[in-house]
Amino acid sequence: MKYLPVFLMILIVLSGLGITFLNNSPNYSYSLDKNDLRHFLESQYIPSIGLLRAATTTYPDNITIYISNDNVLAARALAVLGSPLASKVLTILNNNFSGGWNGKIDILLGRDIPDNFYSSYNELVKEDDGYRIVWEKLNTSIIITDWYNYADLLVYHALDRLLWGSRPEAEKSFLNLTKMWDGYGFRDKPTSETGVYAVYKCALFIYLYRALEAAGSNVIYRYRDIYEKCLEIIAKAQDAIKGGIHTDYRIVNGRIIIQGDMNTETTSMVVLALYSNYPVVIGSHAKSSQRLVPGYVYSFGYNILAWTLSFVVFGAVTRFLRKLM
């Protein structure tokens, strides 16, 4: 037992250097039910129109069908989930709405978007069978000059830069996005004004994270905690009965309180971010030949360095204590 004080002193020194011998990282077990996600999206489908409505109970979104963003994203999400409704929705979009693109969320599906971000407006296409069919379009006369204050626009900008092959620019936007993280969500301009966090912005973070990983970025691994927290929030936001993703949440006494209706847009973004190959395809455009090692090797190398340093310090402290004794 005479060496116990020596051993404890060594542990204290090593702890001060930020080196630990035991991995006490939590086991993340947040998961979503993919079948429930599919069933929810399919339940939003209106057969008489061939498209999905926006929400379940919140008026007027429960009687509104958005061409974009909702159905453009939902068609691909349904395809990812293996639903036969995907081809039906795509057929309507292509035949009646030229695909339904709006120049903003297009980037999530690997399509180039304008260099500027513009304000949006909703164009009422028609009313049919008790539903309003609306197409969100860009108002190119109003440029959003402070786009960098919006978490979603930072993600769209980063993805567009990846599509054009510029990983450094994408990483810059990614880092700016992480600065908005407050431990609970992305406190961008809208959240700062309302106190309400948007679940879909967590999905977009995961989307960009995966795209940058495919591009060969090592920057992202320092922010794995945000990735895991976003997964936790999304899992909490999945409705236990209907399977859709609720739109919003607040923080009350440090607890995440899910609120808002389930909707097609948020659920579709979650599906695309977690289960589709779109992030990988976009990121591959900026794949750098200068990356020397993949991420898991990068992490392994860091651990080897930490352990090597621990043994060096251990030996030095041991020799010092022996001299004292």
> CA angle 264-106-127, nearest 5°?
50
* 21 pLDDT higher than 80: no
* 289 pLDDT higher than 60: no
* 136 pLDDT higher than 60: yes
pLDDT-derived band of residue 20, with 50, 70 and 90 as boundaries? Answer: very low
Q: What are phi and psi of 132, to 5 degrees?
A: -95, 125
Strands of 254-295, DSSP E: 255-262
> How confident is the model at residue 288, as a pLDDT?
52
Percent of residues, the chain, with pLDDT higher than 90: 78
Report which listed range, 14-18, 138-142, 289-293, is most confident.
138-142
| Domains identified in the chain and CATH numbers | 29-311 (1.50.10)
What pLDDT, in 10s, does the model give residues 169-219? 999 999 999 999 999 999 999 999 999 999 999 999 999 999 999 999 999
> How confident is the model at residue 322, as a pLDDT?
56
Q: Based on the number of CB atoms within 10 Å of its own CB, is 146 exposed (0-12), middle (13-18) or buried (19 or more)?
A: exposed
pLDDT-derived band of residue 319, with 50, 70 and 90 as boundaries? Answer: low
**Assessment of whether the complete model's pTM goes beyond 0.95:** no
What pLDDT, in 10s, does the model give residues 90-111? 999 999 999 999 999 999 999 9
Mean pLDDT of 134-142: 97
pLDDT-derived band of residue 250, with 50, 70 and 90 as boundaries? Answer: very high
Q: Is 133 left (phi over 0), alpha (psi -120 to 50) or beta?
A: beta
* 235 pLDDT higher than 50: yes
* 305 pLDDT higher than 80: no
List the beta bridge partners of residue 134: 66, 124
Is residue 199 within 8 A of residue 205, CB to CB? The reply is no
Residue with tokens 């903003």: 104
Average pLDDT of the chain to the nearest whole number: 86
Q: Higher model confidence: residue 132 or residue 300?
A: 132
> How confident is the model at residue 31, as a pLDDT?
84
pLDDT-derived band of residue 67, with 50, 70 and 90 as boundaries? Answer: very high
Beta-carbon contacts of 46 under 8 Å, excluding residues fewer than 6 positions away, are 52, 53, 65, 129, 131
> How confident is the model at residue 316, as a pLDDT?
55
- Torsion angle defined by CA atoms of residues 85, 272, 247 and 191, in that order, rounded to the nearest 10 degrees: -150
Mean pLDDT of 284-304: 52
Extract the tokens encoding 40.
Answer: 């929810």
> How confident is the model at residue 287, as a pLDDT?
86
> CA angle 173-177-179, nearest 5°?
120
Percent of residues, the chain, with pLDDT higher than 70: 79
